[in-house]
Structure 1
Amino acid sequence: MTEQRIEDLTIGGERTLEHIDHDALERFCFPDGQGFPPSYAAFVRHLGWARLFGLWLIYPPVLPGHADGLLGRGRSLTARFAEEYREGEAEGFDWIVEPDGDWRRTQSLQVFGWSENGDVLLWDTSARDEAGEFPIWESARMQSLHRRGSNLIEVLPGLRMRAGSLTMDHDAQPLTSSLL
C-alpha cells in the first residue's frame, strides 16, 4: 500500500490562506528550540484553514486579530485539556488515560486539532523524533488517550475511517476566516 501524502489530500474549493501567519509557521519554536512538525507545516501550506474529512479542524497559526488559530484557540483547548486531566487524576479516574497513556504524559500534550464531536488531536511535545515530528494522540471528549501515530501523515487514514459517512468527494472543505 502506498503511503498517504499531504499533497494527495483533495480540497473542495479555494483554499483559505489569507489569515495564515506564514512567518509563524516557519519561525515558531517549541521549548525544544525546533519548529512545527514537518507534516503539520505541509498540511497548513497545502490546505490552509479547512474541515478535514467533514469533521476535524486542524488549527493553523493565524495573523493577529483572527479567530481559530493554533496559538490562541489551541492554547485555550490545551489549558482545558490539562485542567480536565488534573481533575481526573485528583479524583482517581485512571480510566481517562486509557488505553495508551499515563498521567505523566498528559503534562506534555498540546492540542492542535478539534473534531466537531469534541475530540482532540494532541502532540506529545516531549517526544520529538529525528524527523522533527511529535507523536500524535487523540482524546475522545477529553476522556481517553489513544496514541494514533508518529506524524500527521500516519494518522490520516484512521481519521478518515472514523469520520465514516461524513467523508465527501474531497478530503477537506475550506472554512471562512473570522476576525475576533
Structure 2
Amino acid sequence: MSIFDQLKKHPITQPDSAYLAAHRFPDGNGFPPSYIDFATHLGWGKLCGLFLIYVPLGQHPDSWTVRSPWIKQAMDDFYEEMEHDPFLLEPDGYEGIEYSLIPFAMSENGEYLVWNLAHRQPNNELPIYILAARMGGIRYGAPDLYHFVEGCKNSEAIKTMLGPSYTKLPLTFEPLLLAL
C-alpha cells in the first residue's frame, strides 16, 4: 500500500491514462512510477494543503500537458535573462541543472516541483527538486513523490526541502473540479 492509498477518500478526476502510459521524455522513458501512482489513485487536486500536482487532462488549462510546457518556458526565459546566475541555483542546484528540470507541480506559495531528468534512477524514478518562489533558488526535495510526501509531514524534512519558515504539512488530498 502506498502513501497515496491513505489519501483516496474522495471521487477522483481521472487523468488521460493513454497519455500517462505513452508519454516519453527525451531520455526515452516515461513518467516516474510514484507520479503514475499518484495520478491514477488521486487525479487532479491539492496535495498536503499546498501543492497543485498537474496530471495529464488533455488540453484542460490545469493539465500537465499545458502547465508543464508553460512553466518550463518561463523557467528557460528566466534563467536566460538572468544569464544563468549561479546564485539562483543555490543551495542544492549545480551548473546546468536548469536545462534538465521538468515541472510537474506548483505550490500555492509560488514554488515549483520539478523532476531532474538528468538523474533518472534505476527504478525509473526522477529526483524531485523545488524551485523557490520567483525561481530564487533550487533545493533538493526527495528521490521520488512518495518520499517527498513523507518529508512534507516531517517537521525537519520540510525545512530542508522548502526552507526554514515551513512547518510540517497535513497528509491530505483535496480533489479539484475541472472548471473552465
Tell me the TM-score normalised to structure 1 length.
0.85
Runs of 4+ displaced beyond 3 Å: 6-9, 160-166
- Are residue 8 (structure 1) and residue 5 (structure 2) matched? yes
Q: CA deviation at 1:165?
A: 7.4
**Alignment map for 1:95-114 (pairs within 5 Å):** 95-114=87-106
Q: CA deviation at 1:80?
A: 0.8
Corresponding position of 1:145: 138
Query: Which of the residues 52, 75, 84 maps onto 2:78?
Result: 84
**Alignment map for 1:3-152 (pairs within 5 Å):** 5-11=2-8, 13-17=10-14, 20-64=15-59, 66-89=60-83, 93-141=85-133, 142-152=135-145
Q: CA deviation at 1:6?
A: 3.5
Equivalent-residue separation in structure 1 for 2:153 and 2:179 (angstroms):
26
**Structure with more contact order per residue of length (Cα contacts < 8 Å, sep ≥ 6):** 1
Equivalent-residue separation in structure 2 for 1:166 and 1:128 (angstroms):
27
Identity %: 34
- Give the gaps of 5 or more residues in structure 2: 159-165
Tell me the TM-score normalised to structure 2 length.
0.85
Equivalent-residue separation in structure 2 for 1:107 and 1:126 (angstroms):
9
Paired letter, 1:176:
L
Could you tell me whether the CA contact under 8 Å between 1:88 and 1:94 is conserved in 2?
Answer: no
Q: CA deviation at 1:166?
A: 6.2
Corresponding position of 1:171: 172
Alignment RMSD (CA, Å): 2.0
Corresponding position of 2:161: none
- Give the gaps of 5 or more residues in structure 1: none
- Tell me the SS of whatever aligns to 2:4: helix
Equivalent-residue separation in structure 2 for 1:119 and 1:160 (angstroms):
17
Q: CA deviation at 1:84?
A: 1.6
